[in-house]
Chain A
Amino acid sequence: MKLSKTRRALFAGLVLLFALPLFVAAQSGEIVLKWPCIWVGKDSKAPAIAEIVAAFNAANAGKIRVEIEPQPDYNAYEQKVRTAIMAGMAPGDIFTVKLNASTKEFYTSKLLLDFNEDLTGDWRKSFDAGAVTQSTIRGKLKTLPFETAILPIWYNGDMMKKAGVAKIPATMDELWSAMDKMKAAGMYPTSQMSGDTNAWTSMIWFSWFAVSNGGPDVWEKPFTDKAFVDAAKTIKRMFESYTTPDAIGAGAGVSGGHFLAGRTVIFSNGPWYAGRADLKATTFFPSITIAPVPPTGSYKNIIISRLQANIAAGATADKARHDAIIKFLKFLTNKPNMAKLAEVSGGMYAVNAGFVPKDNDLQKQFYDMADKGYETATDLEAALGAEATLEFTQQLSALALGKITPEQFCSLVEKKIDR
């Protein structure tokens, strides 16, 4: 088959047209860093992250460009990270990991960059030392601590007033009594749930009970320990008498939805929830007070906290790419950017940005609580990993329905703990 001269010229032109961008990119020497990012769309951190990335790209035009790959679904994002690592590929040049007993396994992968040699001097000093220690496993620092959280309980002050509860309960007896008053006023006292893969809001309550009963190192004890059995009895009582009828099997959306709709008085979650536009739009938003769960045991001044999101990077033999990654991460975690992120999102971070909340009273409550000098302990999911947390979640329904005893519940969870 012979092509005419015109057709040949047209064909060559088309080939050139499509090949040109590749040629230009190859010649320009620009390093493109891919960041599959969860902080996009409606996420409270999205505007600040977009601004920071745009500023970095502008300052490094023609040399380094960070490209955000939007991943708005949290579960799908975690799945993507797991699957990519399992398949022998880094999920991106930069990505985030929820560090817990299961995901610590990622530290055995050669795909992740070890930050030990890079996190030095002032950059290291800018991070919370405890968070860096928590993120160091067997001497390796394959994720940088980024977002942290304390997980208190939240009280709807307007509803408390209507129920005749004058002050935040300081003891469990006061809490039971307050919740009885709320019930008498036709309210559901707490948002509980036993759905999703971690029974999030109820897992927070349980963690408080367990730590108060057994101390900050309670997670190292067998789950059949009295501290856990007693915690199971307390959470069972919550489900039986002080929550909504749909709590068994409910997910985080339902649990949070009840609080947002003013159907439940007490809720549990991290500081990022304070940045939600739909929460800020409620009439009761100014009345929200956060507090520790009253102690159920002998340990009294401990609060539940966790590393909510750590930043990881793909390991590379290309020094220029490695340096570009570090340059971006240093920019991302510098004081002004972290302060901006904290202000916009309502979140808390492992980088000391010197940020002090002003206008948002709820955010200030979180910072004040974190500064009160409480001892901290982690939650069940962070301490025991995905499989034990899933068993906790599934058997929590059976416990709440009275199908198993607290002792049986604890025994079942113990079987799934990988020690």
Chain B
Amino acid sequence: MTKKKGANLPWIIVYMLPLALFFFAFFIFPLAFNVYTSMMKWKGGGEMTWNNFANYGKLLHDDTFLLSMKNNVIWALSQGFIQIPLATIVALILARNPRGWKLMRTIYFLPNVISTVAIAKVWTALYNPQFGVINGILNALGIDAGRNWLGDMSTALPAIILMTVIYIGYFMIIILASIMNIPKELYEAAEIDGATKIQQEFRITIPMIRGTLATAITLAMAYGMRHFETTYLMTGGGPAYSTSTMGIALYLKMDALRYGEASAAGIILILLGTLVIVAIRRALGKSDPMTEAAQ
């Protein structure tokens, strides 16, 4: 007996409805409200008044907000193209099962289970110009190191990015899992053909995990685009906005009761984030040979 077409529709609706309602209440509605308030002059307490696109205009003519946008792009690129290559290199080494590789895997992953606040506080102490370990080491090496790493406009942003990109554990695990799934026969055949280890990595491993790498880069860049907490905790976006991101700019607008501008900053962040992610997916978005092989 064949079921009538669409007979399952009521059940599909019943099963989908709870999640759809949550999605509407906690994503679609806030997003729509954000778009609406981004075109309002609203200081939180009183009435909203129609402000057209003035909030967007104000932000896009504000040098500090433009700097925040630039910093967001720097964050996204550094996460995607420094952190992921580092994670890939470590995953490639660990995939060869060197002595103690399981311990190393755990050590690399460990920072991912530590609170961001704790890590930010530790690094703030490490960078301290008077008592920090970094200046202490530089002093011991005979390098004059009185630098205030987080208080200098030229070093603050690189200092925070550096401390973030070295925490590769999360992406290393994803990439390592992908490498582990590559059929061993491919390497055996390559060895018989006389391929060196390096050649095997470049000719077999990396092409085979291309899809995973594209996903990892996309995720890392998305994390970079929405970056907020570490910088806020370490510098509050300073000195002189040099480490500010759009997330921080948004938060500070709310702090100053500029809710209309904060909403506009949120919308610009979503648009810029989408643009960057779509561009990177286009650039990297080739099909995954592992998936093709499975099919």
Contacts and interface: CB of A to CB of B under 8 A. Distances in A.
Interface of A: 79, 82, 85-86, 102-103, 105-109, 194-197, 244-251, 385-387, 390, 393-395, 397-398, 401, 403-404
Contact of A393 (B148, B238, B257): B238
B130 A246 contact: yes
Contacts of B129: 245-246
Given A105-B43, A245-B129, A249-B156, A197 B252 contact: yes
B130 A244 contact: yes
Given A245-B148, A246-B128, A386-B257, A108 B45 contact: yes
A251 B237 CA distance: 12
Interface residues of B, number: 30
A181 to B, nearest CB: 21
B240 interface: yes
Contacts of A251: 236
A248 B148 contact: yes
Interface string B59-103: 000001000000000000000000000000000000000000000
A281 to B, nearest CB: 21
Contacts of A401: 152-153, 239-240
19 contacts: A82-B255, A82-B257, A85-B44, A105-B44, A108-B45, A108-B47, A109-B45, A195-B236, A246-B129, A246-B130, A249-B148, A249-B150, A249-B238, A251-B236, A385-B256, A386-B256, A393-B238, A397-B153, A401-B239
Top 4 closest pairs, chain A to chain B, by CB:
A397-B239, A108-B46, A248-B151, A249-B151
B238 A394 contact: yes
Given A194-B238, A394-B240, A86 B259 contact: yes
Contacts of A245: 129-130, 146, 148
A349 to B, nearest CB: 26
Given A246-B130, A390-B255, A85 B45 contact: yes
B187 to A, nearest CB: 50
Nearest to A258: B130
A205 to B, nearest CB: 18
A102 B256 contact: yes
B282 to A, nearest CB: 36
A103 B257 contact: yes
Given A390-B256, A397-B151, A249 B235 contact: yes
Given A82-B44, A108-B47, A390-B255, 12 more contacts: A79-B255, A108-B45, A109-B44, A109-B46, A246-B129, A248-B148, A248-B152, A251-B236, A386-B257, A394-B239, A398-B153, A401-B240
Given A108-B45, A386-B256, A398 B239 contact: yes
Interface in B243-281: 252, 254-259
A196 B45 contact: no
A86 B156 CA distance: 34
B241 interface: yes
Contacts of A109: 44-46
